[in-house]
Structure 1
Amino acid sequence: MRVKLLLLTGGGLLAATTGALASGFQVNLTGTKNVGMGSTGTGLYLDAASQYYNPGAFAFAPTGLQLGGNLAIPRISFRPNIGDQGQRTLQNTNVFPFSGFVGFGPKEGKWRLGLGAYTPFGSELHYQQGWEGRYSLTDITLQSVFVQATAAYAITPFLSIGGGLVWSAFGQVNLQRDLPIQSASGSGPAHATLTGNADKKFGYNLGIMIKPSDKFSIGLSYRSAIDQTVSDGNVALSGVPASVASNFTATGFSTTLALPDVYSIGLGIRPTDKLTIALDANYVRWSRYQQLTFNYTGGVLGGSTSTVSQRQYLDAVALRAGLQYKVSDGLWLRGGAFYDFHCVKDGFVTPETPDADRIGLSAGLTYEFANRFGLDASFLFEDFMQRSQDQAALVANGTTDRVAGTYKTTIVVPGVGLHFNF
């Protein structure tokens, strides 16, 4: 029975809540200065946000406190392959990802200790009532907070290493969809809501920086995978008629999602005292995510005690470039760009994550007072390539739990931050 599709679409939801770092459910809004430079940061050190991008580079970063927030404004449209071919526009809701870091250590010393918190995702989407994919998804809300403790040490003036312990401190999901059966009242389809809190898990982040001179640096970092588990999720059904109620007795679910690990390499180039150029590449092992299994508790859904959804993700690469120019002692200007390759294969695109190749353009600035207190600002625009899939591809791949059609997405993200140098 098609009701089993209720939880199959939850795979993308859970992935987003755990903060994947590239393609798929990418957000990358950590560190206001870094965002202004195309989210680069592996091969250079701007501030305490180096804890996130490369713990090894953190050994050379200035000590201080920084807080930053963003307003993410997504716009997603969908055009079905059948029917009147009209465009469906989402009731998009703005979200507010944030990050904050503090770094301690002697100003001219060899070591740094730091602590950070960040939201590696943030999303809320509401599709139009009655849209073609309503049996896959109608509404989705995601919330998450990660915490990281970091230590770094400069072995020599030219070589440093660092590591961070990452804790998925908070993750919450809410997924809703219509069911392909008429409600008991006859006013429309029955409805299902899936909610859950992700179990707290630990991962790690390692990095190294080689700095042959003040003009050039190279960084390498590795962020571990964190398999996320919802062990006590809740299933709430409304409008299910008595004639089929025996097939809808589940009250909960559990599932484990394999998230990717991330390898990054970056260069920092300083042709002059005023100009800094950054180049980054991220390799994300999305191929760990091949399928998702849900086990139901308290009964059955559609007569089943478990379901399996095929994902078959591919490894993905993101290429980034950024620059910073020091206009005066208190003013810095930034710009950046990136190209992020999709990880979702044709015929596997889901409504909650209409993944596609994307281009990003960013800008930013810092204005600092008395070398201690400063205001940071950033602006990011992401344009996703148009992504289409037809019903034949869905049938061939066994992915008819999603909908045929064409997606188009853009995201605008202004950001602002404050920093204080110790």
Structure 2
Amino acid sequence: MRKWLWCVLLLSALPGLRGVCHGAGFKVSEQGAKAMGMGNAFAAQADDPSALYFNPAGIAFLPGIQVNLGALGIMVPQTEFQGTTPLSGTPPLDTGTAVVTERSRRDVVIAPNFYASYTLEGLPLSFGLGINAIFPLSKSWDDSSVFRNQVQIASIKPINFQPTVAYRFDALNLGVAAGIDITYAQVSLQRSLYSPAVTPTAPAPPFGAYELGSLGLDGTATDLGYNLGFLWKPRRALSFGLAYRSKITLDIRGEANLLATTPTGLGAIGLADSALFPYTRARASSDASTSITLPDTLDLAVAWRPTERLTLEFDATRTGWSSFERLEFHFDSPEFASFNHQPELRNWRDVWSYKFGGQYEVNPRLALRAGYSFDDSPVPDHTVDPLLPDADRHSFSVGAGIANTLGTLDLAYMWVHFVDRTVHNQDMATLRGANGVFRSDAYLLAANLNLKF
């Protein structure tokens, strides 16, 4: 009888597990300014310490000690929606048919990164450490938005540690690497709650959108994965890269809090709804847990140097988003008992992205770069919503490297254009989804300083 609230809680968890949508699904692929300037086509070059993310085998060819410090700034897209939602109109009864135009809040996410590599003298053995944020998130809609029952504020603050070892087979000009991914994430969200019935425990007409109160959720997870890399340079002008990053299952544990502000809200948590309205409020809390399997990725890459100054690269990346099949929560509190073990299917699909990039060395101190990439969205039409208004996207980038004897300063800019996403998944029984069009664009700036010792 409370399936509507269960769906709300499931949907509320999703923003904490997606990124800012600049790789397939919610993966952020922009983890180094040099690579970003070439559209992230870098797995076959992998010639600075950021190779630890793109292809860890690259550190096998880096001499001495190198340290790469940087940051990615993401101007989170101001998503625009035009159409109808379960709350568009005048709740509680006149909803679901009024056409509205809604815009999410703008925000800026800063995601720092750190990479270091060390190659032993006299031995073809290298060690590396990468620290980055692969899944940062900041997404919010106004408190009065027609999407307020699906998301108001959602954020994730992740950090990933990657210790790596690499070995170089000089006779073959081949580098191999293996590493561990240790991912820690803090998740938080806030949203309003609505019910399609005035008495949630015994639904009956009139059906509409009845306010319950507000929901907050905070949780954390720490889990492990692994990565492998291969980089082969059969000729001076040609190199091939292959990199694999395993699935990671995030076991998220935290606390859910529901503040009931109406008689309908009191009934939702099993309390008598006969108290005088609007003077009574009640709070329900519960430990909450769930598991999400983040996808594995496979990168295939080739780089070619037709001249001494020009380098061209093409990468293809497969992301195994079919691992994201469903969401299922467990709540410890008896007040949330009826919400347990009710899975919601997501049914994402595996997708490919394609990246083209190039670099031209004007002189030993200046290199110019440009790139393009296309990402296919893994999200099926029936699960697109304001939490992840994902779409196929085209990304265009430019960049430059400024070098001296101590190191290189890399700068890059990227414009991400999301193809308009039309959806027809509005469901008045659960008060979720929408009928209309989502439009988004995003802008990224990156800077990395690479020092050699």
For the residue of structure 1 that corresponds to 2:316, the secondary structure is strand
C-alpha contact 1:9 1:350 (8 A) present in aligned 2: no
Give deviations 1:379-413, integer Å, cap 9, x for gaps: 01101111121146x68xx9864333321111101
CA distance in structure 1 between the aligned counterparts of 2:245 and 2:21, rounded to whole angstroms: 10
Q: Paired residue for 1:140, among 130, 146, 154? A: 154
1:3-402 matches, within 5 Å, as 3-16=5-18, 22-62=23-63, 63-74=65-76, 75-81=78-84, 83-106=97-120, 110-156=124-170, 157-168=172-183, 170-180=184-194, 189-198=212-221, 200-231=222-253, 233-241=254-262, 243-244=266-267, 245-246=269-270, 249-301=284-336, 303-369=338-404, 371-391=405-425, 401-402=432-433
| One-letter amino acid of the structure 2 residue matched with residue 291 of structure 1 | R
Gaps of 5+ in 1: none
For residue 315 of structure 1, report the CA deviation from its aligned partner.
0.4
Q: For the Cα contact (< 8 Å) 2:105–2:142, is it kept in 1?
A: yes
In structure 1, the partner of 2:89 is: none
Q: Answer whether contact 1:22 1:316 (CA < 8 A) is retained.
A: no
CA contact (8 A) 1:349 1:402 kept: yes
C-alpha change, 1:107 and 1:366, in structure 2 (3 Å) is farther
Aligned residue identity for 2:11: T
Residues 166-191 of structure 1 show CA distances to partners (whole Å, capped at 9, x for unaligned) of: 111x2011111111159xxxx96511
**Alignment match of 1:404 (pick from 432, 435, 438):** 435
Distance in 2, Cα, partners of 1:55 & 1:45: 8
| Letter paired with 2:34 | K
Distance 1:50 1:391, change over 3 A: closer
Q: Distance in 2 between matches of 1:21 and 1:161?
A: 28
**Aligned mates of 2:165, 2:287 — CA distance in 1:** 40
User: What secondary structure sits across from 1:33 in the alignment?
Assistant: helix
Structure 2 alignment gaps of length 5 or more: 85-95, 199-209, 272-282
Q: In the alignment, residue 214 of structure 1 is paired with which amino acid? A: R
Cα separation, 1, equivalents of 2:375 and 2:430: 24
For residues 306 and 250 of structure 1, what CA distance do their matches in structure 2 show?
18
**For residues 141 and 302 of structure 2, what CA distance do their matches in structure 1 show?**
41
Instruction: Mark the CA change 1:202 to 1:173 in structure 2 (over 3 Å): closer, same or farther.
Output: same
- C-alpha distance in 1 between matches for 2:249 and 2:50: 24
CA distance in 1, matches of 2:443, 2:22: 18
Between the aligned residues of both structures, percent identity stands at: 25
Instruction: Measure the CA separation in 2 of the matches of 1:214 and 1:112.
Output: 21
- Quote how far apart the aligned CAs of 1:258 are: 1.4
Question: Which residue identity does 1:364 align to in structure 2?
Answer: G
Deviating more after overlay: 25-34 vs 77-86: 77-86
- Aligned mates of 1:283, 1:373 — CA distance in 2: 33
Cα contact 2:212–2:262 (8 A) shared by 1: no
Letter in 2 for 1:50: A
Question: What is the CA distance between 1:11 and its match in structure 2?
Answer: 4.5
Per-residue CA distance 1:203-230 (angstroms, 9 max, x = gap) = 1110111211110001111100001011
One-letter code of the match for 1:238? L
2:90 corresponding residue in structure 1: none
SS for the counterpart of 1:46 is: coil
Higher-Rg structure is: 2
- CA positional deviation for 1:109: 5.2
Q: Which amino acid aligns with 1:217?
A: S
Amino acid at match of 1:44: Q
Contact 2:211 2:262 in 1 (8 A): no
Is the CA contact 1:26–1:121 (under 8 Å) kept in the aligned structure 2? yes
Counterparts of 1:188 and 1:223, CA distance in 2: 44
- Give the match for residue 418 of structure 1: 449
What is the CA distance between 1:5 and its match in structure 2? 2.3
Q: Partners of 2:315 and 2:246 in 1: how far apart? A: 18
